Structure 1
Amino acid sequence: MKKLLMLVMALAVLVAACGNNNGDKSKSNNETVNYKLDDGKKIDIPKKPKRIVVLAPSYVGGLLHLGVKPVGVPATTDQTPILKDKIKGIKKVSEDNVEQVAALKPDLIITYNTDKNVKKYQKIAPTIPYNYAKHNYLDMQVELGKLVGKEDKAKKWVAKWKKETEKDGKEIKDKIGKDTNVSVIEAFQKDIYTYGENWGRGTEVLYQAFGLKMPTSVEKDVKKDGWKKISQEEIEKYSGDYLFLPVTKGQAKPEFTKTEAWKAIPAVKNDHVIEIDAQTFWYNDPYSLEVQRKYLKEHILDKANK
């Protein structure tokens, strides 16, 4: 009888211990940390978020590169061939559909500060509304690393990227000349734009990573917004010695490329126009950047060698 009583007491202690461990585990899963937003405010977010919904397509590839798989991403992310296979199995949501986001039961939401639904998302889960213009592309990757507890991994990639692209930039400038300038001009819908150093379309690679120069006109006029809408008549003014032209597969080239004024631009006459696939060059996440880097270096050197 005494032995039976001791056995019962031992089992009771074991059950109680298991119960306490489960409680600690649950508490650990709900652990939060303080995170500073771009506007200076601080919020509590999960220390290890498990169900992230990303509504800002610019940040999808960065999270995936850190080994973090969101439960929801914008449907538009499917349009870039670089990320299409990497987001298979992830729920695609409309960027303005609050109900779709709520149905995924996120514990963290990432969007732009320009998102009109930020306040609605804040009622669903802690929401990070990043100011795209505030962060350059490398700082943004480190910031994403901080957000998900993988800052060291992000910094390691940044160091590797800087080392490799510095070498690329030197090789390119040795070939084309250090004072040679480059520009990106894109026909988007019915308008024409030129871009600064942090607006996708390969600008991060050309200007920041390779260290190539902008034409003075571009440098001056994109300072305020990072981009500038221009007229067809101004294309020559904003064209560099090398001109990069985003085009979309399956669509006709911009109408301005059929004009006599276009044919008279020095970069066109010198066969220094390099077409880039618009959808491949939309974003500036690590996966997209690696593809862009190789393409741009190869095609610049190819043009220089002709």
Structure 2
Amino acid sequence: MKKVLIAFLFVTALLLAACGNAEDSSGSDEASASESDAQETSNEEEEASSSETFTYESEEGPIELPSNPQRIVALSYAPNVLALGGNVVGVDEWTFNNPIMADKLEGIEAVTEESLEKIIELEPDLIIVGSWLKNIDKLKEIAPTVSFTYGKLSYLEQHEEIGKVLNKEQEAKDWVEDFKARATETGEEIKAKIGEDATVSVLENDVKQMAVFGDNWGRGTELLYQEMELNMPEKVKEKALADGYYSLSLEVISDFAGDYIVLSKNPDGDTAFLETETWKNIPAVQNGNVLELNTHVIADSDPITLEYLLEQFSTFFLGE
């Protein structure tokens, strides 16, 4: 009798274990199915989001753009797009070779308006160009293409306009507001330290000559003169303010030198002038009031470059 009872209990235990395994398997299958459904729903929502469009009023008229572009080729204004977190797959070679952009370019290709086949391979859903580039009509056949005329908008308006293109206008406006406030505050601190009447020049060496810049030609000029409201020498106002820059020879460079000099040092240009007596006798040079910066890094006026310049100017003028 005892053997029968033990056998009965053993069989019962096996049946209960089998039922438990079946329930676990069923529960696991249901969980797996639920996860699969959730992933499928997420993919569908992402596809739907990326396929939605809106009408953007471009310089050339209304154009349908993706509301959430996933593969952007920026042949111009790439740093603005990167600063706004755009999903970039291709940028111009100047941006690609800029050292301060390196950490933002992983997996991104360098392209030009001439490399149409390469751009096609990138399968862009949005292309951004400057109106001065070639093959814009051909680019339009590849993907919706927005072009901008350089100088038509101020440097901060340009960033907000890129924000509109990417459907990130508010993000762009928030950065502009914050940047202006920080730049103005830094400018006030600088003037308090160097004096309200101190002057600053922005110079650059080229292959054969020098240039001095006004208040809207990159190289930190917008930041120094527009936002920080630092002074430029009278000779610079006279010659460079209207056109944005003025070419000059080494012989007259002292006439355009301010109490402080920001030297946009072009590594492709002639730097022999740095060893001349004319340069060495400039008061700003003798006083150690020269900030040398790489032209390839500071030429533009996008948020990434401007943040870099704000830090450089703070260190140079304030020792921070």
The partner residue of 1:34 within 48, 52, 55 is: 55
> Offset of 1:113 from its aligned partner?
0.9
Which structure has the larger Rg over C-alpha atoms? 2
Normalization by structure 2: what TM-score? 0.78
**1:169 and 2:190 equivalent?**
no
**1:48 and 2:48 equivalent?**
no
SS at match of 1:123: helix
**1:295 and 2:316 equivalent?**
no
The partner residue of 1:97 within 94, 103, 115 is: 115
* Structure 1 contact 80–282 (Cα < 8 Å) conserved: no
Aligned to 2:228: 210
SS at match of 2:212: strand
* Structure 1 contact 51–106 (Cα < 8 Å) conserved: yes
SS at match of 1:173: helix
**1:238 and 2:259 equivalent?**
no
Q: Which has the higher contact order (CA 8 A, sep 6+)?
A: 1
* Structure 1 contact 198–204 (Cα < 8 Å) conserved: yes
> Offset of 1:278 from its aligned partner?
2.6
The partner residue of 2:292 within 264, 275, 278 is: 275
> Offset of 1:139 from its aligned partner?
1.3
Aligned to 2:274: 257
Separation in structure 2 between the aligned mates of residue 258 and residue 95 of structure 1, nearest angstrom: 40
Separation in structure 2 between the aligned mates of residue 190 and residue 65 of structure 1, nearest angstrom: 35
Q: Percent identity?
A: 40
> Offset of 1:272 from its aligned partner?
1.8
Separation in structure 2 between the aligned mates of residue 281 and residue 298 of structure 1, nearest angstrom: 16
> Offset of 1:28 from its aligned partner?
5.9
**1:133 and 2:151 equivalent?**
yes
Cα 1:101/1:252, change in 2 over 3 Å: closer
Separation in structure 1 between the aligned mates of residue 124 and residue 237 of structure 2, nearest angstrom: 41
* Structure 1 contact 241–267 (Cα < 8 Å) conserved: yes
* Structure 1 contact 245–275 (Cα < 8 Å) conserved: yes
Instruction: Tell me which moved more, 190-199 or 110-119.
Output: 190-199
Aligned to 1:14: none
Cα 1:41/1:238, change in 2 over 3 Å: farther
Cα 1:123/1:150, change in 2 over 3 Å: same
Normalization by structure 1: what TM-score? 0.82
Aligned-residue CA RMSD (Å): 2.6
* Structure 2 contact 126–143 (Cα < 8 Å) conserved: yes
Structure 1 spans left out of the alignment, 5+ residues: 1-21
